[in-house]
Amino acid sequence: MTLRAFVCLTVLLAMPVLATAQEHHSPYGQGRSARVKTLSQSEVDELLAGAGLGMARPAELNGFPGPRHVLDLADSLALTTEQRAGVEDVFRRMNARAVELGGRVVAEEAKLDSLFGGGVVDEATLAERLRAIEALRADLRLAHLRAHLETKALLTVHQVHTYDRLRGYGGAHVHGG
């Protein structure tokens, strides 16, 4: 057998193996065994912890600092005792609400997963589940964005500019204090 014939035969024999290997690279493959298949484990963890998941990006990138990051930068921002207490209060309230709503989002996503997992889902029920999930997500986003509004109101214009600079935003879009 020539080398060329050997290579061709090897490639032909390997094709089914290669095709099978490609089937295992679906972006959803990891989710088959997840507790809630509609969310990644990191999304579940972040929702249950009250994390922002980028929900407040419009505020963050337009001169409305987030309470968690303000507290992380408290010394660099030269927060007064009153400001620190105010931002801690904003964060505490936002986080409590975000944890509650995040848990409800995860529960609703689990219900959506169960609909499909049970093999029987109709459009009306599907629409109801999706509306419930999106209403919770809107409330969750509102909780995060509201915290940015409240936080900015506690800071001086200089502190907001400093925050933006420290976070790498440049501070060019800060409106008022």
The tally of domains found in the chain comes to 1
Digit-coded pLDDT (tens) for 68-93: 999 999 999 999 999 999 999 999 99
Q: Is residue 26 part of a domain?
A: no
Round to whole Å and give the CA distance between 103 and 142.
16
Cα separation values, 116 from 38, 40, 75, 109, Å: 10, 17, 50, 11
Residue 36 lies in a domain: yes
Check if the beta carbon of residue 59 is closer than 8 Å to that of residue 145.
yes
Place of tokens 């407040």: 56
Neighbouring residues of 59: CB distance < 8 A, sequence distance ≥ 6: 66, 144, 145, 148, 149
Q: Report pTM.
A: 0.78
In a domain, 135, yes or no: yes
Q: Is residue 112 part of a domain?
A: yes
Domain-embedded: residue 58: yes
Q: For residue 152, is it within any domain?
A: yes
pLDDT attached to residue 26: 47
Is 99 a domain residue? yes
In a domain, 79, yes or no: yes
Domain span including residue 90: 31-166
Best CA proximity match to 148, nearest among 51, 86, 63, 75: 63
Condensed to tens digits (0 to 9), the pLDDT of residues 116-151 reads 999 889 999 999 999 999 999 999 999 999 999 999
